[in-house]
């Protein structure tokens, strides 16, 4: 799936802390 691949690509660039902040929204 394209969305899944893009999600992995974002994880490579975004820090884990940033991901946690996004999940709060």
Q: Domain residue spans in the chain?
A: 1-25
> For residue 2, what pLDDT is reported?
80
| 8 A C-beta contact, residue 13 and residue 6 | no
> For residue 15, what pLDDT is reported?
67
For residue 14, give the DSSP letter: S
Ramachandran category for residue 24: left, alpha or beta (phi over 0 → left; psi -120 to 50 → alpha): alpha
Q: And the tokens for 9?
A: 């690509």
Residue 25 — very low, low, confident or very high, per pLDDT cuts 50/70/90?
A: low
Give 1 or 20, the one with higher predicted confidence: 20
Q: And the tokens for 1?
A: 């799936």
- CA atoms of 7 and 11, how far apart (whole Å): 6
pTM: 0.33
């Amino acid at each position: 799936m394209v969305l899944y691949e893009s999600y992995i690509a974002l994880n490579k660039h975004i820090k884990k802390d940033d991901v946690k902040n996004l999940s709060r929204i």
